[in-house]
């Protein structure tokens, strides 16, 4: 895997979401139960920025028309065949990395 640094581990608090743009790719980072997840930052419906939506447990709600996704998989809850690209993450030495592959 090709790991890309995205932010310091301490910058992402529990239950919060932040955007990141590793090599120009729009990624949404979220921490739930201490684990950092990464999915595409644009809604699969009409590309609204998901970081301005809500995170409740593992569910992201888009701010525009309330589509909901599982942050662990990126899947749209109403139709799992639709979804966000899901990226691998790792934390190391106080830093968070994402793999875009
Ligand atoms: S753009 Fe996200 S629900 Fe419509």
**Residue 66 Cα: closest atom of ligand 1:** 3
89 C-alpha to ligand 1 centroid (Å): 25
* pLDDT value of position 1: 83
Q: Whose CA is nearest to atom 1 of ligand 1?
A: 46
User: Which residues form the domain of 17?
Assistant: 3-99
pTM summary value: 0.95
101 C-alpha to ligand 1 centroid (Å): 25
Please report, for the domain that includes residue 15, its CATH number.
2.102.10.10
Say if residues 28 and 17 touch (Cβ distance below 8 Å).
yes
* pLDDT value of position 101: 81
* pLDDT value of position 7: 97
**Tens-place pLDDT, residues 19-78:** 999 999 999 999 999 999 999 999 999 999 999 999 999 999 999 999 999 999 999 999
Rounded CA gap, 92 and 73, in Å? 22
Number of domains in the chain: 1
């Amino acid at each position: 895997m090709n790991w890309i640094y995205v932010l310091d581990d301490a910058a992402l608090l529990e239950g919060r979401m932040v955007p990141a743009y590793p090599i120009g790719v729009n990624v949404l980072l979220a921490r739930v139960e201490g684990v950092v997840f990464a999915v595409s930052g644009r809604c699969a419906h009409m590309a609204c920025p998901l970081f301005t939506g809500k995170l409740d447990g593992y569910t992201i709600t888009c701010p525009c028309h309330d589509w909901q996704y599982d942050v662990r998989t990126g899947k749209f809850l109403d139709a799992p065949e639709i979804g966000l690209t899901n990226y691998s993450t790792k934390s190391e030495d106080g830093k968070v990395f994402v793999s875009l592959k």
